Each structure stands twice: as C-alpha cells, then as structure tokens.
Amino acid sequence: MRSEQLYSIGLIAQIVDGKIIGNADYEIQSISIDSRSLYLPEETVFFAIVGDRHDGHKYISDLYQKGVRAFVISKDDISLKQYTDASFVCVEDTLKALQTLTARHREHFNFPVIGITGSNGKTIVKEWLNQVLQNTYRVVRSPKSYNSQVGVPLSVWNLNTNANLGIFEAGISQPEEMQQLADIIQPSIGVFTHLGEAHRENFENKEHLLSEKLKLFASCKKVVYCSDDALVVNSFVVNLEPNQEQYTWARYKHAFCRILKEKRIGNRTHITIQIGKNTSEFVIPFTDRASVDNAITTYVTALVLGIDALDLKQEMLKLEPVAMRLEIKEGFGNCTLINDYYNSDLGSLEIAIDLMNRQQIDKKKCIILSDIYQSGYTDKRLYRAVAKLAAKQKIDRIIGIGERISMQADLFDDNAVFYQDTDLFLSQFNRSKFHDEVILIKGARDFHFERISKALQFKAHRTVLEVDLNAMVHNLNYFRSLLKPQTKLTVMVKAFSYGSGSVEIANLLQYHRVDYLAVAIADEGVELRNAGINIPIIVMNPEPHSFETMIEYNLEPEIYNLKILHEFQQALRKNVAKNYPIHIKLDTGMHRMGFMQSELDDLIAQIRSNDHFYIRSIFSHLAGADEEQHDDYTRHQIQLFKQWSDTIRQHFSYAIDRHVLNSAGIERFADAQFEMVRLGIGLYGVSAVHQDKLMNVSTLKTTISQIKTVSKENTIGYGRKGVLEKDTRIGVIPIGYADGFSRKLSNGHGKVLVNGKLCPVVGNVCMDMSMINLTDVEAKEGDTVTIFGNDYPVSQMAEQLDTIPYEILTTVSRRVKRIYLQE
C-alpha cells in the first residue's frame, strides 16, 4: 500500500521506537508485509511479520534481490552485513511497529473517518457508502475486506491529503484486538452493522463480544446502529459517553430513523421511514433481509454525513451488488480472462495485478483498464502511478478505455492503446488480436466491461463447474490449523486436482506455500512444470517409459518395489544424474503398492550402495482413516510405519521425512503427523469428520434449455423409459453422461436443484442432455440448475449413486468449463 507522504527511515525508527542499522535518510512511500505482492520496491519498507507458521524474515534476501532497501525487523540473529546498502529498523514486535506507524500516519488527517464493525455486512456497507458518497466526497477506503490486524494498517496507510473522507472496516476474532484497530482508524463516525454469532466462541458471551467491538467507537462523535435489539442498545448505553450522538434506526421502537413499512415489488424494496416528523420513502434494488438492513444502515450514515435526502434517494435506487470475487475464465485463443469490472481504484488494481501474476506464468500479460475514479490524486499523478505499476509488474500491454485515461496516453509506453469509450473499443474489436495472454479486465461499473469479457470469452457452454478458490484456501487453512507449525504439507492434485483443475489449483497452492504437490502420473507433473510450477512434485504412479521425462522435468518418483527402484536407477545412470530425490512407499496394510517388511533389508542395501538417488521421504497410506470401526487397524498401520521407517532411517545420516496421514487421518490421528502429511479430498471441501468446518469448493451448474408440458399418456426420452403418472412440466438440461452426469441417475434416481427445490430426473439420461420434472417448482427457460454444490452437497449425489464424492468430483468431464472465483 502506498501513501502520499514520504517517510524517512529515521522518522519511522523514531515513531516505532526502533534502532536503525544503515542509512537513516532513505525515504519510502509504500509498505509491504507480503514478499509476493510487491511493486515499486525502491520506495517500499518491508515489515517482517512473524506469525504462527509464517516468518517474514525468511524473505529478506529475496526482497533485497528485488530491490527493497528498507526493512523493519525483530530478529537479531540474521546476518545483515550482506545487505550493504539497506536500512534496517530493529524493533521488538514488527506487527506492533506497523500498527504504530500507521496510527501516527492517521493523525495527519482531520477530515471525517468512518469506522465500521459488526459480524456481517461490513464490506457491503463500506462499498455502498462509497457508492452513494462518491459524488460528494473523495473517499479512501479499505480494499476488499481488509479488516484485520494487518489489513487495517495497510488500508489506513492509503490516507492522503487529496482525500476528504476515510471509510475503514474493522473485524476481530479475539478479545483485546479491537483496541489496536481503534488506535489506528481513530474513527470520528462509528457504524455498527449487525450482531451475529461469528467468532462468538472466543468470547465469554454476547455482551463481552459487543463491548469489545464497541471499543472501536470510543473516539467517535457520532454512531449509527440498529436499536431493535435490547442487548445492542444496552451495550451502547454502557460503553459510550452521553455526549456521543447516536443515530439509531429501528423497526419496532422509537428511533432516529423509524422504519414504518417495507414493501417488496418485483425485485425492489420500497422502504418507508420517519425521521422527526417527516415521512419519506426510498427504494433499493434488493429484496433480501440482509440487503435491506445494510441499505438502511448505509442510508442513515449518508444522512449523518450531510447528504441531501433527495440526492440520496436517487443513489439508493442505483445501489449495485458488491462483487466480492474476481472471476477467472478461459477465453479464445488460449487466453485467460480475469474479470474485475465492479470497481476501479488503485488499491484494487494492485490486488488484481497481484492475482494476475499468480496465473499462468508463461503467458503475456494484458490489462484492459477504464478511467479510475476517486483516487484522490490528480489525473497526471494517478496515471503515472498506474504506468509505473504496469512497468514494474512487467505488463506487456495496456488497453485504456475512457476519456481521462486517454488524455494521459503519453505517460504509457508504446504498446499501450487507448479508446474514448467501450463502444468504440468494441466496434474496432478483433478477437484474433488476443492470444496466449492473461487479460485482466478491470473497470468502473459504468464502463460495462462485462461486454468486453463476453466478446473475449468462449461462447459459454451452459454447463460449468464453478471452483471457489477462496473456499479452497479456507479449507487449506483449516487443515493447517490442525498441524504443528513445522509439519510439512503435501497436497494431492492428482486426477486434475480431484476434478477442479490443474494449473489454476497448483498456482494457488504454490502461492500459499504448500511444500509438495503430488500427481498420479508423470504427464500431470509435466503440465504443471510447463505452467511454471517450481515446487517439488511427487509422481505417485511412475511408469518406466516416463522416467526420462520425469528426470528432465525434475519430478520425484514414488518407489514402491525393488524392480522400479532398479529401473529408475538405470534411467538416472543414463542421464548421469546424481543425488536424485525419491520417495519410498511402504505397504503397512493398504495392500496396494509399497515395500513389505521382508524387502526392507534389500531396499536399504540398494540405496546405500549407490549415489544416484537419496531418500527424501518415506511414506505409507492408511486404508480406513475415516472410519471409527477401523481405528485399531489404523493405529496398527501407524505403529508398523513408525517401526519400519525407523529401521530405514537408522541407516542414513541425512534427514528423511515421514508421512502417513491423508485428509481424514489429519483430522482424526493428528498425533501421527511425523514430518509431513498428505492432504486430498479435504481441500476440495469434503470431510468424513468435520464437514461443518469446510466450505464447498465445486459447484456443477447448468441452465434449463427448454420447458414443455407433456400429457400423461406420453413417455420421455430413449427407450420410452420416462413414464408419466400425470401431465408433467418437463425441463431439458444440457448435461448428460458425457459430462459426468451418470446414466445411473436416470428415472428418478437422481435429483437436481432448481430454484430451491429438488427435481427428479425423468427417463434415461442421454449423452449430452437430460430431462427433469419441473411440475412442483416455478421455473422458466434459462434458470440455473445446480447438479451439486453449496445447497446440494456432492456427498448427497454420491449417495444417490451409491458411491463416494471422490468419484463424482473426478468424473466431471474435461469438456465442462471450469470457472474460478476468487476474492
């Protein structure tokens, strides 16, 4: 994140009470805590944050290579001499230092700052406030939902003298956290959105949670909240001073803004309110309860900021959904599209470019960018910063669309082209000009860049598998939370990552620093290497004909018997390779592949007598880790594994990692982590143990192509198997067994979800289509049909088919397009 002001290292050291090593006059403008997202390194100070399983100090040398010359550190055991021209500020606690510096930065600004907290709706209210206020104010706000102990300081750092309003959200999961955030944001106006159950477990009770949250408001002159809940009102009374003005809204009692009536008409809600003696109405284009609540909170806050009621009414009608996620799609000409056309500001551009950099590393990079609104900078400075960012991030070309960006064309390099508006761009659009690129499509809403995305994307096959990458990261973090900090993690990405994709998933996992990936066959590994994946990859099922390829691509084999060991040794000898890592598989009870106890002596002798390879790890696989009935057997397997691996390790002087746990094992036998574990199905959202801790990752969806009413004497589909009991509304959906929609789902065995209702399959599933019974549900052509996903878990579909989720996920065919969603 980048501030307007320059800070010298000397000043920073003084503010955070640190000791300087190196040049105190070095000046910076940006701060970073993540070595992976970095731009303008020469003007950045890096804070080496230390967490449970993360230590920023590890990246200092990498960052130095990239050009960073200023660091805030807390460890004195690193050798700083090698970084001759760098400046270091040594402190006790780097996170504290970050918070202290940004709190001091905040103090330079006297304009109103809104602090938002609550269990839900923080980001929506913040974005909606920005939408309704941006004609009146120049707003700096938290990017996305940056509301944590590090998110808040990074957000507040963006405050600058060109702005005249700040909007920041604050979220906590532990007692004592809010005080830090309050010290940084120092809000003058407080907004409380909603009291819910999130993170309740870490607090004694709801009162405790509330009183912690309200610490954000200690400095506020005005606060806004819903006063219907007596508990909330009580807390405000107890925790606030009498002179803090309270702007409440309520449905059921007297309040500053009383809600008299809410009426749904079509997809809008008409809200009648009373303020003082005046009754008025405003309309929003939403109908669900959460949106109505958030809209009212937004409305009252905007009034508090002095927005004229009539203007506000117009803005409320225009409220737009807050897209929390970017979409990654496949485009024509081997392009990857990243759609992010709901907002445009420097902060979110930075984040989007960062995401772009995590995609296929071997493709060229293109940005289609609209005018940027409300940055607080003059146009010249703003687009100079954009041009600089693009150059630093090695963006190959920029297509600027809009009058303002076009005026600054001379700030960009020769590859940049400009258009006055979206229509002009589309009228000259030629698809063949786009190939082998990652294209970030980023613009403010009113540029309607979705039209550009449509032009670049494959005619969407109506059946798609949506893969929620944030859910995947959530699941990854859940499993990590069960591990000791030092335990290494292999993630299984075999079989197209259980159906969810290969390169996209591997990119995500590499970014999130898993230690190993494991694929089934060498070709899967080659695909990943070709896409720039450089972390170690194990091939579980190596075949001798692919050994040369594996060596060429640096893929590490599972060795499961002496024959394969010997053959691999031959291949290494031919390639004059030495010291190649291999992974020894032991058969402790699965009785699939692996060495038996009787073979261990030979194995040890073989490996000791050569210098072609060394054992990087020893592992085994559990046969029934997910089922309690097999727990004795599982413990026996673990016991054997320990014994046998000890026997092997005794013969080698180097360290050898051991691993035996799969997903269910991690959840149920956490004490058998050894040095590493292998995560599979859990990452993809399925657990035999704690399904409630995981988020759904994959959603298979299609749309209704046609609806017809068929009278009862007729039959539906092939073999006339779809016999009707009465006149039936039949929907045709474009998914069949060739897509992975099993023919066993025919004739009522399978059900799909349409507008909240389960509809049975009628007749036989065809190759590319199926028919469903829509008699009991309101539906029209074009409506979405969920085959499995959030509201209809894949495990239920697996039950219908008498199989396991693994099979359903991995048989969604490759012709079904994968769409990746990411915040």
Shortest spacing between CB 680 and ligand PLP, in angstroms: 2
Toward ligand PLP, which CB reaches closer, 90 or 492? 492
Q: Which of the stretches 243-251, 316-324, 419-427, 679-687 binds ligand PLP when contact is defined by CB under 6 A?
A: 679-687
Toward ligand PLP, which CB reaches closer, 255 or 681? 681
Q: Which of the stretches 160-168, 472-480, 677-685, 742-750 binds ligand PLP when contact is defined by CB under 6 A?
A: 677-685
Is the separation of the CB atoms in 532 and 336 below 8 Å?
A: no
On whether 767 is known to bind a ligand per the annotation, the reply is yes
Encoded amino acid at 121, one letter:
G
**Cα(738)–Cα(811) distance, rounded to whole angstroms?**
9
Is the separation of the CB atoms in 730 and 772 below 8 Å?
A: yes
Give φ, ψ of 646 to 5 degrees: -60, -45
**Cα(78)–Cα(70) distance, rounded to whole angstroms?**
15
Check residue 540 for interaction with ligand PLP (CB under 6 A): yes
User: What x-and-dash track marks residues 210-229 binding ligand PLP by CB under 6 A?
Assistant: --------------------
**Cα(136)–Cα(153) distance, rounded to whole angstroms?**
25
Q: How far does Cα 152 stand from its chain's mean position?
A: 18
User: What x-and-dash track marks residues 323-352 binding ligand PLP by CB under 6 A?
Assistant: ------------------------------
**Cα(47)–Cα(700) distance, rounded to whole angstroms?**
42
Toward ligand PLP, which CB reaches closer, 180 or 617? 617
Check residue 525 for interaction with ligand PLP (CB under 6 A): no
Q: List all residues 6 or more positions away from 110 whose beta carbon is below 8 Å from its beta carbon.
A: none
Q: List all residues 6 or more positions away from 123 whose beta carbon is below 8 Å from its beta carbon.
A: 144, 145, 147, 169, 322, 324
Check residue 663 for interaction with ligand PLP (CB under 6 A): yes
Local structure of 163: helix, strand or coil: coil
Toward ligand PLP, which CB reaches closer, 72 or 492? 492
Toward ligand PLP, which CB reaches closer, 681 or 716? 681
Toward ligand PLP, which CB reaches closer, 357 or 662? 662
Shortest spacing between CB 472 and ligand PLP, in angstroms: 14
On whether 769 is known to bind a ligand per the annotation, the reply is no
Residue-level length of the chain: 823
Shortest spacing between CB 490 and ligand PLP, in angstroms: 8
Q: Alpha-carbon Rg of the chain, whole angstroms?
A: 29
The catalytically annotated residue of 494, 585, 701, 751 is 494
Shortest spacing between CB 681 and ligand PLP, in angstroms: 3
Shortest spacing between CB 676 and ligand PLP, in angstroms: 11
Residue with smallest beta-carbon separation from ligand PLP: 680
Shortest spacing between CB 618 and ligand PLP, in angstroms: 13
Q: Which of the stretches 400-408, 438-446, 469-477, 674-682 binds ligand PLP when contact is defined by CB under 6 A?
A: 674-682
The catalytically annotated residue of 19, 58, 712, 718 is 718
**Cα(772)–Cα(765) distance, rounded to whole angstroms?**
10
Q: List all residues 6 or more positions away from 794 whose beta carbon is below 8 Å from its beta carbon.
A: 685, 686, 698, 788, 805, 808, 809
Q: List all residues 6 or more positions away from 648 whose beta carbon is below 8 Å from its beta carbon.
A: 584, 600, 603, 604, 615, 618, 656
Toward ligand PLP, which CB reaches closer, 224 or 812? 812
Check residue 681 for interaction with ligand PLP (CB under 6 A): yes
Element (H, E) at 759: strand 757-762
Local structure of 650: helix, strand or coil: helix
Q: Which of the stretches 23-31, 172-180, 409-417, 656-664 binds ligand PLP when contact is defined by CB under 6 A?
A: 656-664
Local structure of 793: helix, strand or coil: coil
- List the beta bridge partners of residue 320: none
Q: What's the token pair of residue 395? A: 């963006």
Check residue 658 for interaction with ligand PLP (CB under 6 A): no
Give catalytic status of residue 478 as yes or no: no
Give catalytic status of residue 364 as yes or no: no
**Cα(221)–Cα(390) distance, rounded to whole angstroms?**
41
Q: What is the DSSP string of 347-412?
A: HHHHHHHHHHHTS-TTSEEEEEEE-----SS-HHHHHHHHHHHHHHTT--EEEEESHHHHHTGGGS
Site for ligand PLP in 578-637 (CB under 6 A): 621
Toward ligand PLP, which CB reaches closer, 677 or 785? 677
User: What x-and-dash track marks residues 60-99 binding ligand PLP by CB under 6 A?
Assistant: ----------------------------------------
Total residues at interface with ligand PLP (CB under 6 A): 10
Site for ligand PLP in 477-496 (CB under 6 A): 492
Shortest spacing between CB 470 and ligand PLP, in angstroms: 20
Toward ligand PLP, which CB reaches closer, 249 or 479? 479
Give φ, ψ of 11 to 5 degrees: -65, -45
Site for ligand PLP in 544-563 (CB under 6 A): none
Q: Which of the stretches 289-297, 470-478, 661-669, 754-762 binds ligand PLP when contact is defined by CB under 6 A?
A: 661-669
Local structure of 262: helix, strand or coil: strand
Shortest spacing between CB 495 and ligand PLP, in angstroms: 8
Shortest spacing between CB 337 and ligand PLP, in angstroms: 31
Q: What is the DSSP string of 52-107?
A: TTEEGGGGHHHHHHHT--EEEE--SSS--TT-TT-EEEE-S-HHHHHHHHHHHHHT
- Summarize as ranges the residues that interact with ligand PLP (CB under 6 A): 492, 540, 621, 662-664, 678, 680-682
Residues labelled catalytic:
494, 718
Query: Residues annotated in the binding site for substrate, as ranges?
Result: 592, 767
Query: Residues annotated in the binding site, as ranges?
Result: 592, 767
